A and B are shown apart, each in its own frame.
Chain A
């Protein structure tokens, strides 16, 4: 080859490379026109998330990762502060009238949708009625007793209840997203409304662009009433996608993101030690990790099988190893956070695979083909692969179950797939984590009523006795009797072994303390550092 040929060849190479580079993305030109060019002038907070937004409709989505983004965009009547207390957000106050049968929310008058329309009581009424009509999400369960919603003026909403229900105001106030009526109404069938462009919100940050697989960009809402004087210091919040927690951690240490949306797994806390700029923030937990049994499976419908499976879960070792001691054990469905309602008399199922096997054999299971496993007892156990703690738990439980002759197949799948499978009942066992339960009554109603009003009865249990116990407790107004009934329920669910609690985890978030400060964390990994309120208070360091 002579020089001319070589020249021609390198010319071709250059052409190919240039063409590839140009087709790649047009190198950002023409995209995100709303953003200032140069990039250096505005303050951007970059947060790592693990999965794409599955559903942009806040009335429908049950996903924690969706909620991080949606929660900052749509206001709630109340929010949860760092001490797990409900405090005003859109509502400035609420009162009970008519012996508890009317709940009156007073709204602030300075919330404005990003298209300029004020947020009014009509929006709240519309949101609640849409949820009730279409039985959307877990909020539907909390609205069960609502007979009518009245809006005497633009800043007053009155919920008329068929009976007094103490947790009503806090439950609905905290959980229900308020959406712009004038936008959502136009969409027609709300269950099919994707809400995936031209977002109109009234929270601290409004979504501007979504690039699946890469990032979600939100910009500051200058009219957010809780922002400090002069507006929130962070103008842009950018969620970047890191499907694997490792890369996310490295990205934080490297300065490519400023905050991990996902809590730091216990095994990785050490990787931040010795890095001065990285700060860890501990927040309280409002939920707990657990294994749920799908009782529509003929074997899992048998209490003894569930009890036996509870006996192959070595919670003590799981806490000391997987969580490196950063968690506490819990028994029964009521978490020790609710000290008043937690039935402390319950004895946890002992970790004893041999006894579990014996229990199963008593229940009629046998190993006739001699493969060491009890015939018929093969289950699929699903989990979320982006939660390192739970994927490890799944692995450990699987091995211990084999000792009891039970074959568990662990399917740790991508987060949104996991959610869609649990939602549709496409699993036998489900290793997962409740993010937030704000009161035990709502929890029991959402998770165990056969009518499944909250859509999170993942057990798919239909037990008339359980229904009766729950419904009786719900109408009990005497506090002491009410607590007693919750404790009875705690015991009943525990005996039935509808779930095997794993642990209440100490949640830690990692952020770049060298760059940002002023986060207002809330408990739980659902809220954590990324509520709209918290983000609006963040300031750059120095």
Chain B
């Protein structure tokens, strides 16, 4: 598992600031600022490339399977990423694995975001609920979750659906923490008191006033949670808890490990590893850059 500071600070980490729910500048200006940095443009292009690969790659590349005649060949023009011990094309495995990694990442982060945002807003708005929300969130964050995920996945039976739910259901605390701390700032702003004085219900205040103010943060959260989900999915698949029907980057590495070729067929571990690195890195960088670009204070950096 990658090391994510548990106060969900990764976004702010590089920017040297907590993500803050300031009044958003115009979208166009944000986007321009976002793309003005090479890292922002690069990370977004990389994410798009992965997205395209996941969506359309399988249309052009045959599903890896069966037995090939060329076994354990190093990368060549015919097999860009080489072949494995069954003669299957590693490039095809990585392409098909992209789809699974992205599916799990997106779906799991959607689950985490919904739960995390709901709890975060609840904590920010209701003082009574807040004590509980904070306690439970802190407790979840301090537990070793990978062993728990392993156990639940093993019992529920490995499949893409299981992986998605398990990862999603254990990833919300980071989101809650981020949304709550920034929701608190919004809730204490004078215009919320104003809305309350005008007789707006709690539901209305939360959905109409607080939620929109934290939307940019949710975008950041989506990217960071998805990045973590990719790592989690790869980890579980590497431990043999992946979906046996679907290709996954973790499974490619596991296959290399099980057939005893990691020291010879370096291509079988290198390329899926690179795919994980690049996807997670670009999602993280994009999240960070997005956060920076909303913050006028960081203009000059």
Contact = CB atoms under 8 A, between A and B. Distances in A.
Q: Judge A-B direct contact (beta carbons within 8 Å).
A: yes
A270 B66 CA distance: 22
Interface residues of A, number: 32
A245 B86 CA distance: 17
A321 B259 contact: no
Nearest to A392: B86
A391 interface: yes
A267 interface: yes
Contacts of B263: 246, 249-250, 253, 271
B151 to A, nearest CB: 16
A391 B86 contact: no
A410 B244 CA distance: 8
Interface in A353-391: 385, 388, 391
Given A321-B86, A322-B86, A245 B66 contact: no
Interface string A234-257: 000000000011101110010000
A308 to B, nearest CB: 19
Contact of B258 (A271, A318, A391): A391
B72 interface: yes
B86 A265 contact: no
Residue picked from B240, B258, B262, most chain A C-beta under 10 Å:
B258
A324 interface: yes
Give the secondary structure class of A's interface: helix
B38 to A, nearest CB: 38
Interface string B245-265: 000000000001111111110
B89 interface: no
Interface in B48-74: 65-69, 71-72
A321 B71 contact: yes
A435 interface: no
A265 B67 contact: no
Contacts, number: 73
Nearest to B261: A267
Interface string B216-257: 000000000000000000000000100010000000000011
B20 to A, nearest CB: 29
Contacts of A388: 258-260
B67 A268 contact: no
A114 B257 CA distance: 41
Contacts of B258: 244-246, 385, 388, 391
B85 interface: yes
A441 to B, nearest CB: 36
Contacts of B65: 399
B24 interface: no
A249 B265 CA distance: 14
B260 A245 contact: yes
Contacts of B86: 321-322, 392, 395-396
A412 B244 CA distance: 11
Contact of A270 (B67, B256, B264): B264
A134 interface: no
A400 B86 CA distance: 14
Interface in B68-91: 68-69, 71-72, 85-87
Most chain-B CB neighbours within 10 Å: which of A249, A314, A321, A395?
Answer: A321
Contacts of B259: 245, 265, 267-268, 388, 392
Contacts of A391: 258
Given A268-B259, A388-B258, A396 B72 contact: no
A409 interface: yes
Nearest to A408: B244
Contacts of A264: 260
Given A267-B71, A399-B66, A322 B262 contact: no
Contacts of A410: 244
A347 interface: no
Interface of A: 244-246, 248-250, 253, 264-265, 267-268, 270-271, 314, 317-318, 320-322, 324, 385, 388, 391-392, 395-396, 398-400, 409-410, 412
Given A249-B263, A267-B261, 8 more contacts: A245-B258, A246-B258, A248-B260, A250-B263, A317-B67, A321-B67, A321-B86, A396-B67
11 contacts: A244-B258, A246-B256, A246-B261, A246-B262, A265-B259, A265-B260, A270-B264, A321-B71, A324-B71, A396-B66, A399-B66
Q: Which 3 A-B pairs have the closest CB atoms?
A: A267-B85, A268-B260, A321-B67
